[in-house]
Amino acid sequence: MAFDNTVTVIGNLTREPELKYTASGTAVCSFSVAWNRKDQNQEDVASFFDVTCWRELAEHSAESLNKGQRVIVYGRIEQETWEKDGEKRNKIKIVAEDVGASTRWATVGGVEKAEPKPLTKKYDRPEEPF
């Protein structure tokens, strides 16, 4: 039986991405994403998600993302379990497979648009030139 636990979360970064490297040199980046929704009483309810990125995605995310930026995170859900002071604890996190900036309410900087080049030939026919 196949089981797919993918999730997509759209929200704002609550802190700057933190890039670290494992002892073997693998990049790992962590950050948190928050999103708000309205409950049945029309009150805001915030949800927070810890996100982990690996390898090239980790390096690209750390370089490209900033606190407060709206992002789209696609990945899988993992549960971490540990014991603290004799008490068992757990936390759900997202291991990202892809992260991108959301352009719903803002533009993404850093990419310059090329100026359109004028046509060098004039065509007398109304059909396409190819």
Q: Which residues contact 76 (CB under 8 A, 6 or more apart)?
A: 5, 6, 7, 94, 95, 97
> In this structure, is residue 117 part of a structural domain?
no
- How do residues 25-58 score in pLDDT, each as one tens digit? 999 999 999 988 888 888 889 999 999 999 999 9
> In this structure, is residue 108 part of a structural domain?
no
CATH number at residue 77: 2.40.50.140
Contact (Cβ atoms closer than 8 angstroms) between residue 31 and residue 12: no
pLDDT over 50 (residue 128) = yes
* pTM for the predicted model, two decimal places: 0.73
> In this structure, is residue 52 part of a structural domain?
yes
> In this structure, is residue 56 part of a structural domain?
yes
**Structural Rg of the chain based on CA atoms:** 22
Band (101; pLDDT cuts 50, 70, 90): confident
Nearest CA among 77, 71, 78, 75 for reference residue 100: 71
Range of the domain at 31: 6-101
- pLDDT value, residue 4: 74
Whole-number mean pLDDT of the chain? Answer: 84
- pLDDT value, residue 25: 93
pLDDT over 50 (residue 2) = yes
> In this structure, is residue 43 part of a structural domain?
yes
> In this structure, is residue 93 part of a structural domain?
yes
Band (120; pLDDT cuts 50, 70, 90): low
> In total, how many domains does the chain have?
1
